[in-house]
Chains A and B, each alone.
Chain A
Amino acid sequence: MTLIATEKTDARRTAVQSAGENPASATSPADSPSAAALNAGTGTVVPPAPSAPPSQPAPALKQAPAVTAQIPKPAPSEPEPSGAARTQAAPPPAFYTKDLSVFYGEKQAIKQVSMAFPDRQVVALIGPSGCGKSTFLRSLNRMNDLIPGASIEGEIWIGGHNICDPKTDVVRLRQKIGMVWQRPNPFHKSIYENVAFGPRYHGVKSKAALDELVEECLRKTALWDEVKDRLHQSGLALSGGQQQRLCIARSIAVKPDILLMDEPASALDPVSTAKVEELTAELKRDYTIVIVTHNMHQAARVSDKTAFFFLGDLVEYDETNKIFTNPSRKSTDDYISGRFG
């Protein structure tokens, strides 16, 4: 815990505190900043003045009318607002969900979850197996569409678009949202090609530009020195940990804004896990990261905010520090202290 506290800058700390607001009561602060964020792309926007955001509607607010129109129904598991955290406005969330429900056939796997994801921070989703955290993650880039019988209700607002809208161009959406899976899944191609494949498809044609991009991505994932002499060997020849970092390099090569990680270290040995965690901390300078993990120590180590899911409900969502030291809900406490799950 102390590690997290020392790592954070003061600025971030204040930002986190206010962003730690539960999603429902933070709706109005979330609106105008998000509207502002969509004007200026991700993250580059200065947060609006700290004074009460609802009374000060940004002109861009019209762009997201559906959100302001109604007050979302409070999540069933809402913690009591913690008072102190409300004094400052949240920084613009990179994206947020509103009353998001996911169904597999008749079964409801996610129950009306509203969550705001602060820009360039790591949000960890924890909870026992089958609690819906992976489902939630996979609905953020509409990957759950691939599963027969899966359907989605509610809203996910990313960059001013509700991506649950059936008219959404999922292909373009997914380019903006990188994904990393539990088991490393490099393409059956060379190391170089694994990274260059996406950008080339999206229009980077010149060899020099591709070379540069590949090197940049591999450096960012701390893989360059390990593989620079064998770029044209198969990506499958790498070790599990290297493969996973290759997969991360592959996903950042298409310049996404958001990275979704579905238990990225659960199939790796401790050393590789540490590397992936380090990498996650590095990457949050450039990307908003959502990470699903079974490992609570990992959540505590890498994340700024933590959301506890249980049986499809978002039970508690707060600053990681708070969740792990002083959770508001009893079930969170029980889970974290290992009484179940």
Chain B
Amino acid sequence: MKTKSVDRIMTGVIVGVGFLIIALLAALLGYLLIRGLGHVSWHFLTSPPESIRAGGGIGPQLFNSLFLLVLTMIITVPLGLGAGIYMSEYAKQNRLTAFIRLIVEVLSSFPSIVVGLFGLLVIVNRFGLGLSLMSGALALTVFNLPLMVRITEQALRAVPREQKEAGLALGLSRWRTITTVMLPISLPAIVTGTILAAGRVFGEAAALLFTAGMSSPRLDFTDWNPLHHTSPLNPFRPAETLAVHIWKVNSEGLAPDAAQIAAGASAVLIITVLVFNLGARWLGRVLYRKLTAGR
């Protein structure tokens, strides 16, 4: 009798906590969307911001966020996959790799403002990359990379040992076993992890203040040559991202509709993250099915 009632109480508590979290999330999302969505329009999404007049948009910022994401991922994903594969399949388990793992953990929990200052001193000034998308992407790599490494390592470790042995027993080399047997199995986990890492890029502001800058030059959206100064694709131009823009508008915005712009931008940011997550999940499923003949 007693075990039963304790069990019932604990079940209640756990269900309660679950609902609390969902309610919190729903309230937060609802608040942001209700406040912000009213302000979102095609004009708002595409036009450049205004500094003192009302009616500014977030077009360049939205583009910058997406472009910075792509740029960061281009740097992070190959490095992270490579290091993750090394850590899980090639590295011996000894003091050195334990130390590397510790460093990686520390790196991923660095305060982002510190990473930002580090980026300013080393990437922006010492390497002379200036306040630019490239500097921002490199700074974001600093804390995205550890995440990516750990995700890849754990995903590969989660592959049943028999699968790996089956590949090796067929006379496949270690590399081929990893790429053709293990990676397809671990792909969903790796994709999910990549989304998590990418989500941080969208939301990150502090590390970008000093590396990607707080201004966006006039962009000419008809010029797609990455070498031109006004081209949106030029990775060496300063670029204010959506999250940085929200912070800036809120703290020092002079436009009369600053509050609405911030709210609208927040809503857009959240929706973008949601769309991106769902899209990446779908992509992961499709890839998995394609590589493994479905289930």
Contacts and interface: CB of A to CB of B under 8 A. Distances in A.
A331 interface: no
Contacts of B184: 188-189
A84 interface: no
Interface stretch (B23-31, B38-46, B169-177, B262-270): B169-177
Interface in A128-186: 141, 143, 146, 148, 171-179, 181, 183, 185
Interface stretch (A9-17, A228-236, A279-287, A317-325): A228-236
Interface in A173-210: 173-179, 181, 183, 185, 187-190, 193, 197-198, 201-202
Interface in B115-167: 160-167
B171 A197 contact: no
A201 B291 CA distance: 16
Given A148-B93, A236-B295, A251 B162 contact: no
A46 interface: no
B172 A178 contact: no
Interface residues of B, number: 26
What's the dominant secondary structure at chain B's contact region? Answer: helix
A251 B172 CA distance: 12
B165 A181 contact: yes
A250 interface: yes
A231 to B, nearest CB: 10
B18 interface: no
B157 to A, nearest CB: 13
Given A187-B163, A189-B292, A232-B293, A141 B180 contact: no
Contacts of B77: none
Given A181-B162, A187-B163, A233 B294 contact: yes
A233 B176 CA distance: 23
B66 interface: no
A274 interface: no
Contact of A251 (B163, B170, B291): B170
A247 interface: yes
Contact of A187 (B93, B168, B171, B181): B181
Interface residues on A, range: 35 or more
A265 to B, nearest CB: 16
B185 interface: yes
The residue among A175, A176, A185 with the most chain B CB atoms within 10 A of its own CB is A185
A172 B168 CA distance: 10
A141 B169 contact: yes
A143 B294 CA distance: 29
A201 B293 contact: no
A187 B173 contact: no
A254 interface: yes
Given A188-B292, A234-B292, A250 B170 contact: yes
Nearest to A138: B165
B176 A251 contact: no
A316 to B, nearest CB: 29
B169 A174 contact: yes
A190 B293 contact: yes
Interface string A73-99: 000000000000000000000000000
Given A174-B168, A187-B167, A236-B295, 13 more contacts: A143-B169, A146-B161, A146-B164, A172-B171, A181-B165, A188-B292, A189-B292, A234-B292, A234-B293, A235-B293, A237-B295, A247-B166, A251-B169
22 contacts: A143-B169, A171-B171, A172-B171, A174-B168, A175-B170, A175-B171, A185-B160, A185-B163, A185-B165, A187-B163, A187-B167, A187-B292, A188-B295, A197-B180, A198-B171, A201-B171, A201-B172, A202-B171, A233-B294, A234-B292, A234-B293, A237-B295
Q: Which 3 A-B pairs have the closest CB atoms?
A: A175-B171, A190-B293, A185-B162
